[in-house]
Chains A and B, each alone.
Chain A
Amino acid sequence: MTSKYGDGVSSDATLVERLLHRDVSAFEELYDRHSRIVYALVVRILQQAPTAEEVCQDVFLQLWRNAALYQSARGPFVPWLLTLARNRALDHLRLKSERQRRREDQTEELPAIAQAPEYEKALDEKRRAERIRSLIGTLSAPQKKAIEMAYFEGLSHSEIANALHEPLGTVKSWIRNGLLRLKEGLQTAS
């Protein structure tokens, strides 16, 4: 099988390298490749197209201005970019809905390492999207709901337990077992 994803990682890394030399065409290529998934993620979190576009703009400008912060040796580019986009969108969501609340900021300014396991390196982006959507459909409805609340709404285990009126331990198990099942599904399918 041709490793489209593997080629994509290499090309993304090369394009990011070119950003360090202020190469506008490299930026445009990266935008064309990844703006759809970044926007889809951000608009899913924020639920408002105009605000989502502002956050997307912020994410891509950060990439342009601070490309050196991504290091290809420490992991593939797309998970790094998606983590950056999710963090920015959740920050925006919290700023809007909890601006009166004084709380510890849990979000990292920049994404940490996300190393692709071996079984994942051979998958292209489209197939990975199809597979993850198919696998989430095999989880129970509460498992799926809890994982989506944590990922897209940025809620903690306790917040999800309160919202769903379920014991904290149950919610933790749903989320962990659900994620492990997704991981096993990806391993089995590759």
Chain B
Amino acid sequence: MSEQDQFRELIEGYALGALDASERAMLEAHLAAGCPECAKALEEARFLVSQLAYLAPPAEPSEMLKARLMRTVRAEQSAARPTTTPSRGASIPYWLWAGVAALLLLSAYSTWDARRLQKEVQEVKARAAAELKHRQQLEQELTEAKHEAWILTDPSSKKIDIMPNDKEMPMLQATWHPELGIYITGQKMPMPKGNKVLQLWLIPKKAGAKPMPSHTFWPDASGKIREMVDDPPEVMAQTKALAITEEPEGGSQQPTSTPMWVGGVS
């Protein structure tokens, strides 16, 4: 296979965003070198990939979304509407020259001032957009924090100690709310080696049933774990234990290693 063929084989995966980092870097270097065939193939592949959107089941947004958008758009249009300059008369009496000169000066000043104001409005809008984005992030974090606090304090939640097999390792704690999910916390956790991740498993009570895969996660830089599992694959009443293993990046459908932590649910 020629080198060109090798690059062509990467085009569809690149358009889909599915290449791994090394392949992506290799193809981007090739494209940057100016290969017209691959550039053309990539444009077509991007178009083809965009058409996969039509595989989504039909769905309609609510009327409220349109109403919200139109309100925002109209408000922004009003804010950005340029200042109109008053029209001047076609002729000016000689004795009004001084007045006309003053008007011209005023007009020039108005134009300059309008531009300045427009620039300020644009800057304010840019700042407002950044603030809005920041606020949305904070709101999302707040929602998540409330969710976690509810799970931790609700009387119907069950606390589960997840004990390590290795005594040198720290203990984890899970709090399971029957409706809101499982919140796992831990400290002083070592980072999994290589490309491994930690993966949570739910061990069903039913004899012979296989462990059910759940979230994959990592400790943060300080070794803390705060993982919210809002969609456990099994209900609490049918779960015997929680287990955590190290798995390859992306997680596994079946455990590929012995559990490093286990906690009995009931």
Contact = CB atoms under 8 A, between A and B. Distances in A.
A128 B55 CA distance: 11
A106 B77 contact: no
A100 to B, nearest CB: 5
A79 B218 contact: no
A151 B249 contact: no
B250 A162 contact: yes
Contact of A79 (B40, B51, B81, B251): B51
A43 interface: yes
B19 A157 contact: yes
B17 A107 contact: yes
B43 A115 contact: yes
Contacts of A158: 20, 249-250
Interface in A50-91: 52-54, 56-57, 60-61, 64-65, 75-76, 78-80, 82-83, 85-86, 90
A158 B12 CA distance: 15
B105 interface: no
A109 B265 CA distance: 44
B27 interface: no
Contacts of A75: 43, 47
Given A36-B60, A157-B19, A158-B20, A183 B74 contact: no
Given A65-B129, A163-B250, A132 B55 contact: yes
A159 B17 contact: no
B46 A40 contact: no
Given A64-B76, A159-B249, A115 B44 contact: yes
B53 A41 contact: yes
Nearest to A179: B12
A16 interface: no
Nearest to B46: A114
Given A83-B46, A100-B220, A157-B18, A175 B12 contact: yes
B66 A31 contact: yes
Given A61-B69, A179-B45, A156 B19 contact: yes
Q: Interface size class for chain B?
A: 35 or more
B56 A40 contact: yes
Interface in B213-239: 215, 217-220, 226-227
B207 interface: no
Contacts of B227: 100
Contacts of A35: 61, 65-66
A56 B18 contact: no
Contacts of A110: none
Contacts, number: 182
A176 interface: yes
For the residues of B in contact with A, the DSSP-based class is helix
A156 B220 CA distance: 23
A49 B60 CA distance: 10
B96 interface: no
A132 to B, nearest CB: 5
Interface in B72-88: 72-74, 76-77, 80-81
A95 B46 CA distance: 24
Nearest to A117: B44
Contacts of A151: 16, 49, 52, 55
B59 interface: yes
Interface of A: 22, 24, 27-28, 31, 35-37, 39-41, 43-44, 49, 52-54, 56-57, 60-61, 64-65, 75-76, 78-80, 82-83, 85-86, 90, 95, 97, 100-101, 104, 106-107, 111-117, 120, 128-129, 132-133, 136, 147-148, 150-152, 154-160, 162-163, 165, 172, 175-176, 179-180, 182-183, 186
19 contacts: A24-B73, A24-B74, A27-B70, A36-B58, A41-B53, A44-B55, A53-B61, A57-B69, A65-B129, A79-B50, A101-B217, A115-B43, A147-B52, A148-B55, A162-B250, A163-B250, A163-B253, A165-B252, A175-B18
Interface of B: 9, 12-13, 16-21, 24, 40, 43-62, 64-66, 68-70, 72-74, 76-77, 80-81, 125, 129, 136, 140, 215, 217-220, 226-227, 248-253
Nearest 5 pairs of A and B residues by beta carbon: A79-B50, A44-B56, A115-B43, A162-B250, A114-B46
